[in-house]
Amino acid sequence: MRVLRSAALLSFSLFCAVAATSQSVLVVGPGGYATIQDAVDAASNGDIVRIAPGTYGVFQLSGKGLTLIADQPGTVRIRNLSTGGNVVAIDLNPSLQLRLVDLVFETDPAIGDLIVSIGYGITSIEGCTFVGGMLPVLHVGFNAALVMRRCQLQGSSDAPMRVTSSAHLLASQCTFTGGPVLGLSTSGAALRVDAASAFLSNCTLTGGSYVGPAFAYGAGPGLLCDIPARLWVVDCTVRGGDSSVANVPPGPAIANGGWTSYHRGTLLGGIGPTGQAVAIPGPSLAEPLLGVTSSPTELQLGANFDVVLRGAPGDILVTFGTTELQPLQVVPILAQPLLGFLAPTGIVVDAAIAGPTGVVSYSFLVPNTPAIRHLAVWFRAIDLATWPLQASAIVGGVIR
């Protein structure tokens, strides 16, 4: 049952706010800049850098909030092309927002590890692939807030991603896979979160298995927190890695000395000769959490965008829309940190009472207006029946 406005009103309100934005588009490739670095240097805050298919070297970005988007998903590969250049360094500030869309970041095994380092500000990463080596390929820290959607992350001998230093991760519909554990120097985790926080929704995490022959402390956990972290996990599949050696235990689903809250989904410890590992050996709480998915995964001009919320039957679920994400805040009435839906451009999109299965769904049409291509719209919901109030992950993203 609807209790507030229809999502159709977005065509008059939220998308009008998006269309009012003016941004320049810079092209990398034939007829444009030769390198991503050249385009980034020439761009102004808020511009769009559109990248033609090809393989490119690393780049450095500081003090600018840009959108970097591939012309075609999966065709733009960013690699460490020389031994002296192996870091994509992104240094924002709390007022800036960066968007990375449909790019592939991968280590060149013949040269060494590629590291994408992000600090401060708000970054959204959509449809990107990260392939690591001995070190995590994606490192987020220094109070950064990161929203990830439909990304693939793969480690070759360690966790492909690490979140540290009071950063916050909101990930949905992503896959994290840890590399095989080769010895004491690698963790094999699918994701590491240290002294930070993460909210995972509809994600799959698989820890790496122990392959020997060097001794290791254990197979890789699905989610590893060497330094205690605050985690929320909803509608996810998280599995620890297996071990075939008796004195090397299999990995847990989540190894966290801090607090883990989880709801629905599947959490499984890995399997070894002596049995299956405990799913969550540290402190945890099974509590209601609000899940969200979208279909299709992208916002496309002239197409419907469907959002499905999953809570408890009878709960009041309120959905907000925004064109800009708000910096991370801690609000006592919310269980998770606040990010996004109270931004100045935000509006109430919909409010409804969840049906017998706890599901609320709605659909809206993205206007077929070329002026809004490459701009962003985001959605997040809260559950008014929980206490403290629970928020969902963020869906939406850059309009194609």
Rounded to 5 degrees, what angle do the CA atoms 233, 235, 240 make? 65
What three-state secondary structure class fits 8?
Answer: helix
The full set of domain ranges for the chain reads 23-286, 291-398
Q: Can you say how many angstroms the Cα of residue 13 is from the centroid of all Cα atoms in its chain? A: 27
360 near 352, Cβ under 8 Å?
yes
220 near 277, Cβ under 8 Å?
no
Question: From CA 121, how far away is CA 314, in angstroms rounded?
Answer: 37
pLDDT at 41: 97
DSSP 319-359: EEEESSPPPPB--TTBSSPB-STTSTT-EEEEEEE--TTSE
Give the residue from 256, 240, 366, 238 showing the smallest Cα distance to 300: 366
Question: From CA 236, how far away is CA 250, in angstroms rounded?
Answer: 20
CATH number of 291-398: 2.20.130.20
* Residue pLDDT tens, the chain, 400 long: 444 445 555 544 666 566 555 679 999 999 999 999 999 999 999 999 999 999 999 999 998 999 999 999 999 999 988 766 789 999 998 888 999 999 999 998 888 899 999 999 999 999 999 999 888 999 999 889 999 999 999 998 889 999 999 999 999 999 999 999 987 777 899 999 999 999 999 999 999 999 877 778 899 999 999 899 999 999 999 999 999 888 899 999 999 999 999 999 999 999 999 899 999 998 999 999 999 999 887 889 999 999 999 999 999 999 999 988 988 888 899 999 988 877 878 888 889 999 999 999 988 888 899 988 888 999 999 999 999 999 999 999 999 8
DSSP 250-268: PPPSEEESSEEEEESSEEE
Q: Tell me the Cα Rg of the chain.
A: 21
The CATH topology of domain 23-286 is Pectate Lyase C-like (2.160.20)
Q: Can you say how many angstroms the Cα of residue 182 is from the centroid of all Cα atoms in its chain? A: 27
Task: Name the one residue in this structure whose structure tokens are 């980034």.
Answer: 40
DSSP 52-87: -SEEE---EEES---EEEESSTT-EEEE--BTTB-E
Q: Burial, 71: exposed, middle or buried (Cβ in 10 Å; 0-12, 13-18, 19+)? A: middle
Q: Write out the two tokens for 336.
A: 């998770």
pLDDT at 16: 59
The secondary structure of residue 14, as a DSSP letter, is H
The set of long-range contacts for 293-296, using a CB threshold of 8 Å and a minimum separation of 24, is: 293/172, 293/173, 293/202, 293/395, 294/379, 294/395, 294/396
Can you list the alpha helix ranges (DSSP code H) found in the chain?
Answer: 14-19, 36-42
H/E element holding 381? strand 376-383
